[in-house]
Structure 1
Amino acid sequence: MTTRWRGVMAGAAAVGLVVVPLGAGSAGALDARPGASSAVAAATPAADGFPKLTPAVAAELDAAVREVMTRARVPGVIVALSAPGKGEYVRAFGVADKASGAPMTPGLNMRIGSETKTFTVTALLRLVDEGKVGLDDPVGKYVAGVPNGDRITLRELADMRSGLFNYSADEGFFKALTGDPERSFTPQQLLAYAFRHPVNFAPGAEFEYCNTNTVLLGLVVEKASGSTLADYITDHVVKPAGLKHTVFPAGAEFPAPHAHGYTNQTADGKTADATDWNPSWGWAAGAMISDLPDLRTWAKTLATGTLLTPATQAQRLKVSAAGDLPDTGYGLGIFNVEGWIGHNGSLPGYQSLTVYLPQSQATMVVLLNTDIAHEGAEPSALFGEAITKIVTPQHVFRLPAQPEPAT
C-alpha cells in the first residue's frame, strides 16, 4: 500500500514507483476526430523525437488509453502530455465515483503515493545545500535504534540501498492496516515493524525499494530542520516550486474535489472504496495529495533541479542499476526509465506517474483511481508504456510485470 517501485516494488502495502493510466472520456486541449488519419504517420520526423500533438496523434493516444483502461479494468484516469512547441494532450477518461457515475475530470485532487518520496528527498537535499546535513552522514547521527545505523548513510537511504526490511511487507503491519484502514500510524510504529526483522544485506550492497528508508529520511528532515516534515516540505519545497494544491495531510483529510479510489488490498481480497483510508502509514514515503496542474509543474522542477544547487542535482541524477530492471536506474528519490526522469506512486485506491524527458523537455503525468494489478502489472505502468510507444518510441517507459502468487 505504501510503495512499490516496479509499479511500487513488492509488498503488502504499496506506495512506490508506478506508472499511470488513461481512461475513457473527454476534456483536453486537443480534440480527437473519429476520421483522423493514423497518428503514426502524422507523428514522424521530429528532431527531438517527440511528435507534434496533433488531433491525429491525440486520436491514437485516446485509443491506446481506452484499450489499457478496458483491459486493466481501470475506473478512471487523467493523462497529460506536453512539450515546447508540440502542443498539449490533456484528457480525463472514465468515472471518478463508481457509485454515482460522476466523471473523472482533470481538476480532481488525487492521492499520489510514493511520489511523496520525491518531496521528502528534495527536502533532505535542500538541507544538504544549507549545510545542515551531509549525504554521507550515518543515519544513526539523527535517529537512534536503527539496525546498522552507524553504517547506513543518508545517501544509501535515498537511493534504496540500505538493506533494511520494508515495514510494509511485514505481515503484522498488513493485518493492522487492513483490520482498521482508518487508524493512524506514527513513524516510530512503522519503523518498529521493520526493525523486528534482520537486515536483508549490507549497506550499499544491493538495490531494494523500501518504504522504511524514506520514513527514516523524514525523521532526519525533522531533526535537522526543527520543523515537522509536513511544514518543512510545505515551506521549503511546495511553495518555492509554485505548487497550489499539493498537501501533506495530517490524517485522512482529502481536499475536495477528489476521485474515489478502489483497491483489493483488503483483509478478504475483495475490492473496496479506499478513498478515506488514512495514509499516515505511508507518511514520508507515501501520504501526499496533489493534482494534475501541480504535478505537471513538479515534473520539470524535479528533473531539472531548480530547487537545488547544480552540484546537488548532479548527485541526485547519478542513478545506478535498480535491481533486475532493464534500462532503469534509481538515484536519490528519483528514477530514470529509458530517459524518463521522475517517480511513480501507488497506495490503496490510487496510482500516479510523473515524469520528464529532458531531450524533448516533455512532461507526462498519469493519475488513476485504482491500484489493482492486471496480470501482475501496475495499470499505471501499462498506461505509461502504451503512451510512450506512440509519442517516444525510442524512449518507451517500461516496468516489468511481477508474477502473481498462485491461488
Structure 2
Amino acid sequence: MSLRSRRCSPPSRPDRPARPAPLSARPGRAAAALLTAVLALAPAGPASAAPRDDDDLALRARLQELVDRPDGPPGAIAVLRDGDRVRVYRAGTAEVGTRRPPRIDDHMRLASAAKAFSGAVALRLVDCGQLGLDDTIAERLPTLPAAWGAVTLRQLLQHTSGLPDYSNAPDFVALIRADPHHVFDSRHLLDFVADEDLEFTPSSQYHYSNSDNIAVALMAEAVTGQRYEDLLAAEVYRPLGLRRTSLPSGYELPEPYLHGYAVQPPEPPEDVSTLFGASGAWASGGIVSTPRDFSAFAAGYAGGPLISAATRRQQRTFVEGASEPAGPGANRAGLAIFEYSTRCGVVYGHTGNTAGYTQFGAGTPDGRRSVTVSVTTQVNERVAPDLLAQLRAVEEDFVCALSAG
C-alpha cells in the first residue's frame, strides 16, 4: 500500500482553548444495559479495481450457516483483500422483505471498530511530534477532572486508563431511553462522569471503556485546533482512499445501506438501523463506512506506512485483554489495536457491536492483506454467547482463507 498523502495538521496556538468548559450537570454512574446496544457495550486498491465473488463454496456456506440460525443475522458479508485483489462473500439479504444481497458499497455502522480510527489519528499525530504517548490529560486537557490528570495517551489507547465509562452513567442512559435520537454535544460526553474518580490506578489493569477514545479525540483536537471530523478526513480517509466513510452526528444512514436488525425469535427481525443517533458514540463508536472502505482501512491500519515503524512498535506492545466483542483466536490489546492469534497466524485489528451490527476487521502485519466480516445483528457475550462463539469460528475461517491467499 502506498499512501496518497502524508501530512499532519498544523499545531494550534498554545493559548487557544481546545475544549469548551465542562457542563454544569454532573450525573452519577451505574451499569446500564441499554448503552451496550449503542456503543458495543469497539490499503485501498485503485478505484478501477473491481471486487469479485470467489468460488469458495465452503466459506459461503459458513456465512449461510450464520444467517440460517433462528437468532442469526438477516445478512452477512465478508471481504478478503490482497493488494488490489478483492474477494467478496455474502449470505442473506441487505433488507428483510427484499432479495437484495449485501453489497460491498452498502453503508453500515462500524460501532467500536471506530476506536481504531481514533487510534490512527492519534498515532499519526505522534509521528508528527504533535502528540506524545506519555502526554497526560493534565497537560493536554486541563479542564477535565484533576483526578484524571496523570492518565496518558498510551493508557487511553490501551484501555488501561481507569477512566469511568460515560456510557454507563445513569443520566446518559436516561437521555437515550427518553429519546434515542437525542443529539449530544459529543465533546461533552465525559461530563457525565466528571464527578467520578478513576476506577483503578492507571496501567494496573485492562478495562475496556468508551470514555478512553473520547479523551483521545479531544487530545487530538487540543493539539491541532481542528475538529476531530476534519482530522479523520486529513489523516485517515484521504491517505487510505476511503470515499464512503464518515462520522455523522444524526441517526440517518447514507443510501444504500445494510439494514441492521434486532433478532429475538420467534418474533420477526426488527429494523434498528436508525434507532440511535451517532452523537452519543462519536469517536468511540459513531463511524459509518462500507465493506469496501472497512477492508481498506483494516489493511492500512494493521501495517504499512500509515504509521511509522517506530510508532508501530509502540502500538504493538500488548497486554491481556479482548476487544468487544472478542475477535477470533486469542486476543491481546495494543494501542487502539488488538492482536488476534488464530490457528492460521496473527492478524491485527478491531471489532465492534451496536444495535443491528457486529464488525470484525483485521490485517496482516505487513498491511498487504485484510479480512472483514460484517453481520446485521448485534452479537456479543451478553446478548448471544452461542452465536458469538460461532461467529468467532467463522471469522477464524476467513483469517485462514486470507493466509492461504
Fold agreement, TM-score > 0.5: yes
Alpha-carbon deviation of 1:142?
A: 2.0
Alpha-carbon distance change, 357 to 173 in structure 1, aligned in 2, over 3 angstroms: same
Tell me the residue number matched to 1:239. 238
Q: Distance in 2 between matches of 1:202 and 1:344?
A: 26
Question: What SS does the corresponding residue of 1:318 show, helix, strand or coil?
Answer: coil
Given that residues 53 and 88 in structure 2 are in contact (C-alpha distance below 8 angstroms), is that contact kept between their aligned partners in structure 1? yes
Q: Distance in 1 between matches of 2:172 and 2:263?
A: 16
Q: Distance in 2 between matches of 1:295 and 1:390?
A: 15
Tell me the residue number matched to 2:282. 283
Alpha-carbon deviation of 1:315?
A: 0.7
1:332-364 C-alpha deviation (Å, 9 max, x unpaired): 100001112000121222121111133895421
Q: 2:378 aligns with which of 351, 371, 380?
A: 371
Does residue 78 of the first structure (1) align with residue 77 of the second (2)? yes
Given that residues 64 and 92 in structure 2 are in contact (C-alpha distance below 8 angstroms), is that contact kept between their aligned partners in structure 1? no
Tell me the residue number matched to 1:29. 53
1:49-101 C-alpha deviation (Å, 9 max, x unpaired): xxxxxxxxx1111221111222342111111124479x754122212222545
Tell me the residue number matched to 1:220. 219
RMSD across aligned positions (CA): 3.1
1:356-387 C-alpha deviation (Å, 9 max, x unpaired): 13389542111222115586338566334224
Does residue 317 of the first structure (1) align with residue 324 of the second (2)? no
Tell me the residue number matched to 1:386. 394
Given that residues 76 and 368 in structure 1 are in contact (C-alpha distance below 8 angstroms), is that contact kept between their aligned partners in structure 2? yes
Given that residues 36 and 354 in structure 2 are in contact (C-alpha distance below 8 angstroms), is that contact kept between their aligned partners in structure 1? no
Q: Distance in 1 between matches of 2:290 and 2:160?
A: 30
Q: 2:350 aligns with which of 333, 339, 343?
A: 343
Alpha-carbon distance change, 79 to 97 in structure 1, aligned in 2, over 3 angstroms: same
Amino acid corresponding to residue 332 of structure 1 in structure 2: L
Given that residues 207 and 323 in structure 1 are in contact (C-alpha distance below 8 angstroms), is that contact kept between their aligned partners in structure 2? no
Given that residues 263 and 372 in structure 1 are in contact (C-alpha distance below 8 angstroms), is that contact kept between their aligned partners in structure 2? no
1:52-91 aligned within 5 A? 58-71=56-69, 72-83=71-82, 89-91=87-89
Alpha-carbon deviation of 1:180?
A: 1.0
Does residue 162 of the first structure (1) align with residue 161 of the second (2)? yes
Given that residues 329 and 336 in structure 1 are in contact (C-alpha distance below 8 angstroms), is that contact kept between their aligned partners in structure 2? yes
Tell me the residue number matched to 1:399. none
Amino acid corresponding to residue 385 of structure 1 in structure 2: A
Q: Distance in 2 between matches of 1:113 and 1:328?
A: 18
Does residue 327 of the first structure (1) align with residue 330 of the second (2)? yes
Alpha-carbon distance change, 99 to 172 in structure 1, aligned in 2, over 3 angstroms: farther
Given that residues 318 and 332 in structure 2 are in contact (C-alpha distance below 8 angstroms), is that contact kept between their aligned partners in structure 1? yes
Alpha-carbon distance change, 389 to 250 in structure 1, aligned in 2, over 3 angstroms: closer
Give the share of equivalent positions with the same residue, in percent: 27
Alpha-carbon distance change, 379 to 355 in structure 1, aligned in 2, over 3 angstroms: farther
Aligned length: 348
Question: What SS does the corresponding residue of 1:239 show, helix, strand or coil?
Answer: helix
Alpha-carbon deviation of 1:257?
A: 0.8
Given that residues 14 and 348 in structure 1 are in contact (C-alpha distance below 8 angstroms), is that contact kept between their aligned partners in structure 2? yes
Does residue 250 of the first structure (1) align with residue 216 of the second (2)? no
Q: Which segments of 5 or more consecutive residues in structure 1 lack a partner in the other structure?
A: 1-8, 19-26, 32-57, 396-407
Amino acid corresponding to residue 370 of structure 1 in structure 2: T
Alpha-carbon deviation of 1:264?
A: 7.2
1:165-184 aligned within 5 A? 165-184=164-183
Normalising by structure 2, we get a TM-score of 0.77
Q: Distance in 2 between matches of 1:360 and 1:183?
A: 38
Tell me the residue number matched to 2:14. none
Does residue 97 of the first structure (1) align with residue 95 of the second (2)? yes
Q: Distance in 2 between matches of 1:288 and 1:155?
A: 22
Question: What SS does the corresponding residue of 1:240 show, helix, strand or coil?
Answer: helix
Alpha-carbon deviation of 1:215?
A: 0.4
Alpha-carbon deviation of 1:391?
A: 5.8
Question: What SS does the corresponding residue of 2:396 show, helix, strand or coil?
Answer: helix
Normalising by structure 1, we get a TM-score of 0.77
Q: Which segments of 5 or more consecutive residues in structure 2 lack a partner in the other structure?
A: 1-32, 43-50
Q: Distance in 2 between matches of 1:293 and 1:105?
A: 9
